[in-house]
């Protein structure tokens, strides 16, 4: 006797069922134990999560790689900007060169055209709050002087000649002393140094050796 | 001409990936989803809780879908039930339910055959307490009874799902049946 028969006997309330169930507990369970059916909502939930699972994957890996590259580029770019900002000396050199070029471009090379340092030096008095050291430099005749503005403060520009070349010597007082250095910028020679509370910048289209001579002679006098 | 070639190459690269996923889903829904009731029934009997069973069946279904590649066309119901069973056992173990398989076999070994048991079993109250008795069985016995009597799986299939030898399945079933009888008779006294 199988369980299907037992099930029918149960439905008919057949008295013979008792003996059968007694001898066959499997049928008791098969015929009478509760069979739990999945709630309809569960099936829908599972179908939805399966569809989510099967949906084409968003390539997060590649998005992450692209994002980190962008981040890296952005960081490098900002670092570059920061570095250019963090190099005031480079910016200063740029400004000094601009002042030199401006003086050669226009008609405003000399405010006080004089080869005599005793004329040039007093001329600055009253126009600047400092007195620039105006010196004779052997081999580089003094041509005159001029007022300049470099990075927001006044500076004295002393102009010397050498054959057809012009040397602008910019001088302004500064609290910090900078070590002597030279550089070439746009083909122009530039030298800077500090002495007795002043900052000096010499700019010219002379060759480095001749500008070096100019600086050493000027400093020696 | 070159454009056609390029377009062809792109669709060749893309199409199988998109189709694989859709085909897998369709195949899964067709072969595995019809056994959701069996999955829920097993989980419900093992955990004795409707909400737990729902969560575990959902988890097991996702697991099954993810490892659907390992399904080699054997019986989909038995395959799904094995995953459901493992998910439930992991859950119950984590929750701290002890698999109370070891109980005093001698004390419960032999059912006393009372003469009025036959009429007693016809009593609707006794049949009604059957579910209660089944719930009271130790986890492994309950598992064996549900798989055998409600899902009507073979001993071999049960042994693969429960990961025990066929002999163990048979002895678990025999003991489970004896305990059920005892429980039913006890409920009538």
| pLDDT tens figures, A138-188 | 889 998 898 988 888 889 999 999 888 899 999 999 888 778 888 888 889
Distance from CA of B28 to the nearest CA of A (A): 9
Residues of A with CB under 8 A from a CB of B: 15, 17-19, 21-22, 25-26, 28-30, 32-39, 42-43, 45-47, 49-51, 53-56
The answer to whether B150 and A29 are in contact (CB under 8 A) is yes
pLDDT at A19: 57
CB contact under 8 A, B181 and A25: yes
| CB-nearest partner of A51 from B25, B40, B149 | B25
Among all chains, which residue has been given the structure tokens 């309950």?
B142
Distance from CA of B1 to the nearest CA of A (A): 30
pLDDT at B159: 95
Residues of B with CB under 8 A from a CB of A: 17-18, 21-22, 24-25, 28-29, 33, 36-37, 39-41, 44-45, 50, 53-54, 57-58, 61-62, 65-66, 117-119, 121-122, 127, 130-131, 134, 145-146, 148-150, 152, 177-178, 180-181, 184
Kindly write down the DSSP assignment for every residue of chain A, as one continuous string: --HHHHHHHHHHT-TTHHHHHHH-HHHHHHHHS--PPPPHHHHHHHHHHHHHHHSPPP-HHHHHHHHHHHHHHHHHHHHHHHHHHT-HHHHHHHHHHHHHHHHHHSS-S-SEE-S-HHHHHHHHBTTBSS------BTTB-EEEEEEEEETTEEEEEEEEEETTEEEEEEEEE-SS----EEEEETTEEEEEEEETTEEEEEEESS-HHHHHHHHHHHHH-
Find how far residue B79's CA is from the centre of its chain. Answer: 10
Q: Give contacts of B24 with chain A, Cβ < 8 Å.
A: 54
pLDDT tens for chain B, 189 residues: list them: 443 433 333 333 333 344 478 888 898 999 999 999 999 999 999 999 999 999 999 999 999 999 888 887 788 999 999 999 999 999 999 887 655 444 433 334 334 444 444 444 554 555 667 888 889 999 999 999 999 989 999 999 999 999 999 999 999 999 998 888 888 777 655
As a whole number of angstroms, the distance between CA B46 and CA B52 comes to 10
pLDDT at B115: 43
ipTM, 2 decimals? 0.74
CA distances from B112 to A27, A177, A221, B105, B133 (A): 20, 111, 130, 14, 17
Cα atoms found within 13 Å of the Cα of residue A41, Cβ hemisphere only: 5
Which tokens go with B22? 């859709």
| CB-nearest partner of B127 from A30, A32, A36 | A32
pLDDT at A168: 92
CB contact under 8 A, A50 and B53: no
As a whole number of angstroms, the distance between CA A104 and CA A108 comes to 8
pLDDT at B48: 93
Task: Note the pLDDT tens digit of each residue in A62-99.
Answer: 889 999 999 999 999 988 887 766 567 778 888 888 88
| CB-nearest partner of A54 from B24, B37, B148 | B24
CB contact under 8 A, B130 and A29: yes
């Amino acid at each position: 006797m199988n369980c299907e028969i037992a099930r029918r006997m149960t439905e008919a309330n057949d008295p013979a069922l008792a003996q059968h169930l007694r001898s066959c507990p499997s049928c008791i369970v098969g015929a009478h134990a509760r069979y739990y059916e999945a709630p309809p909502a569960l099936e829908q939930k599972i179908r939805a999560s399966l569809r989510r699972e099967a949906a084409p994957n968003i390539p997060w890996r590649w998005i992450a790689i692209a994002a980190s590259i962008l981040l890296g580029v952005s960081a490098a770019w900002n670092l570059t900007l920061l570095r250019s900002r963090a190099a005031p000396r480079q910016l200063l050199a740029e400004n000094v060169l601009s002042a030199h070029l401006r003086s050669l471009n226009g008609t405003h090379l000399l405010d006080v055209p004089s080869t005599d340092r005793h004329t040039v030096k007093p001329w600055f008095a009253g126009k600047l709050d400092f007195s620039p050291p105006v010196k004779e430099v052997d081999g580089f005749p003094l041509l005159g002087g001029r007022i300049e503005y470099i990075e927001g403060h006044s500076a004295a520009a002393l102009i010397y000649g050498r054959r057809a070349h012009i040397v602008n010597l910019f001088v302004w007082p500064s609290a910090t002393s900078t070590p002597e250095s030279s550089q070439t910028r746009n083909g122009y020679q530039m030298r800077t140094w500090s002495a007795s509370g002043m900052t000096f910048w010499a700019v010219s289209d002379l060759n480095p050796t001749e500008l070096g001579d100019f600086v050493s002679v000027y400093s020696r006098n | 001409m070159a454009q056609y070639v390029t377009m062809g190459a792109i669709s060749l690269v893309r199409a199988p990936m998109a189709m694989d996923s859709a085909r897998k889903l369709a195949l899964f829904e067709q072969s595995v989803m019809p056994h959701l009731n069996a999955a829920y029934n097993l989980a419900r009997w093992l955990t004795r809780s409707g909400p737990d069973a729902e969560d575990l069946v959902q988890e097991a279904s996702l697991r099954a879908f993810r490892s659907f590649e390992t399904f080699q066309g054997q019986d989909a119901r038995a395959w799904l039930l094995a995953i459901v069973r493992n998910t439930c056992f992991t859950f119950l173990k984590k929750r701290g339910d002890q698999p109370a398989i070891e109980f005093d076999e001698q004390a419960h070994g032999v059912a006393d055959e009372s003469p009025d048991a036959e009429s007693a079993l016809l009593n609707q109250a006794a049949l009604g307490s059957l579910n209660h008795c089944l719930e009271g069985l130790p986890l492994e016995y309950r598992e064996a009874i549900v798989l055998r009597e409600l899902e009507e799986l073979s001993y071999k299939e049960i042994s693969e799902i429960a990961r025990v030898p066929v002999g163990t399945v048979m002895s678990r079933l025999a003991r489970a049946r004896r305990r059920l009888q005892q429980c039913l008779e006890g409920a009538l006294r």
